[in-house]
Chains A and B, each alone.
Chain A
Amino acid sequence: MKEFSVVGKRLQRYDAKEKVTGQEIYICDFKLPRMLYGKILRSPYPHANILSIDVHNAEKIRGVKAVITAKDVPSSKFGFIPSQADKNILCHDKVRFVGDEVACVAAIDEETAQEALRSIIVEYQELPYVIDTKEALSKDAPKIHNPESNLAFEVHHRFGDTEKAFQESEYIFEDTFITSKVAHCCLETRGCIADYSKGRVTIWSPSQSPHTLRQELARVLGISQQKVRVINLSVGGGFGSRLVMDMKEPLAAILSQKTGRPVKIINTRKEEFSTAKARYPFIITLKSGVNKQGKILAREIEIVGDNGAYNDKGPVIFNTAANFASILYGVPNIKFDGFLVYTNKEPGTAFRGFGNPQIHFAIESQMDMIAEKLGADPMELRLQNANQPGDIAASGAEITSCGLEECLMKAADAAGWSYSHKTHANRGMGMAAMVHGGGSMRAYGFSANDAFIKISEDGMVTVISSAVDVGQGSETVVAQIVAEELGVKYEDVLILGNDTDLVPFDLGCFGSRSTFVCGNAALDAARNAKKEVMAVAAEMLEANPNDLIAAEGKIFVIGSPDKSVSFPDAVNFSIKQRGKPISGKGRFFDPIAKDMPQLPFGKRASTFTFASQVAEVEVDIHTGQVEIIKLVAAHDCGTPINPMAAEGQIEGALCQGIGYSLMEELKYGGAEISNPNFSDYKIPTSVDMPPIRTFLVKTAELDGPFGAKGLGEPGLVPTAPAIANAIYNAVGVRIKELPITPEKILNALKEKGLS
Chain B
Amino acid sequence: MKNFEYHHPRSLNESISLLMHYGDKAKVLAGGTDLLVRMKREELFVPHLINLKKIPELNFIRYDHEAGLSIGSATVLSTLASSRMLSDKYPLLVESIKTIASPQIQNMATIGGNLCNASPAADMASPLIALRAEIKIAGTWGEKFLALEEFFVGPGKTILKTGDILVEIRIPKVTDSTKAVYLKHGVRKAMEIAIVCVSVALDIDPKSYICNQARIVMGAVAPTPIRSPGAESILIGHKIDENLKKAAAEAAANDACPISDVRGSKSYRLEILKFLVQKGISEILHSVRQDT
Contact = CB atoms under 8 A, between A and B. Distances in A.
B264 A687 contact: no
B41 interface: yes
Contact of B2 (A114, A663, A675, A677): A114
A686 B189 CA distance: 9
Contacts of B67: none
A198 B272 CA distance: 65
A746 interface: yes
B253 to A, nearest CB: 14
A679 B187 contact: no
Nearest to B1: A111
Contacts of B191: 678-679, 685
A632 to B, nearest CB: 21
A687 B268 contact: no
A675 B190 CA distance: 17
A432 interface: no
Contacts of A622: 275, 279
Contacts of B264: 743
A270 B41 contact: yes
Task: Give the interface centre of A268, A667, A742 by most chain B CB atoms within 10 Å.
Answer: A742
A623 interface: yes
B219 to A, nearest CB: 16
A662 B41 CA distance: 27
Given A111-B3, A667-B262, A669-B262, A746 B188 contact: no
Interface in A615-629: 622-623, 625
B190 A685 contact: yes
Contact of A742 (B1, B3, B187): B187
Interface residues of A, number: 29
Interface residues of B, number: 24
A747 B42 CA distance: 37
Contacts of A684: 188
Contacts of B193: 679-680
Contacts of A677: 41
Interface in A662-694: 662-663, 667, 669, 674-675, 677-680, 682, 684-688
A675 B262 contact: yes
Provide the main secondary structure of the chain B interface.
loop
B211 to A, nearest CB: 22
Contact of A687 (B42, B185, B190): B190
A743 B193 CA distance: 16
B275 A623 contact: yes
B263 interface: yes
A688 B275 contact: no
Contact of A746 (B37, B42, B268): B268
Contacts of A746: 268, 271
Contacts of A669: 262
Contacts of A114: 2, 42
A270 B40 CA distance: 10
Contacts of B42: 114
A682 B187 contact: yes
Contacts of A675: 262
B188 A623 contact: no
Contacts of B102: 685
Contacts of A742: 187, 268
Given A111-B3, A746-B268, A746-B271, A687 B189 contact: yes
A623 B185 contact: yes
Contacts of A426: none
A75 interface: no
Interface in A594-625: 622-623, 625
B265 interface: yes
Contacts of B268: 742-743, 746-747
B272 A623 contact: yes
A549 to B, nearest CB: 53
Nearest to B278: A622
A280 B78 CA distance: 42
Nearest to B42: A114
B254 to A, nearest CB: 19
Interface in B252-292: 262-265, 268, 271-272, 275, 279
Task: Give the interface centre of A114, A270, A743 by most chain B CB atoms within 10 Å.
Answer: A743
Contacts of A111: 1-3
A679 B194 CA distance: 11
B275 A685 contact: no
Interface of B: 1-3, 37, 41-42, 102, 185, 187-193, 262-265, 268, 271-272, 275, 279
20 contacts: A111-B1, A114-B2, A114-B42, A268-B41, A623-B272, A625-B187, A663-B188, A679-B37, A679-B191, A680-B193, A680-B262, A682-B188, A682-B192, A684-B188, A685-B102, A687-B189, A687-B190, A742-B268, A743-B268, A747-B268
Interface of A: 111, 114, 268-270, 622-623, 625, 662-663, 667, 669, 674-675, 677-680, 682, 684-688, 741-743, 746-747
Across the A-B interface, give the 9 residue pairs with the lowest CB-CB distance, nearest first: A743-B268, A622-B275, A685-B190, A687-B189, A663-B187, A674-B262, A687-B190, A688-B188, A688-B189
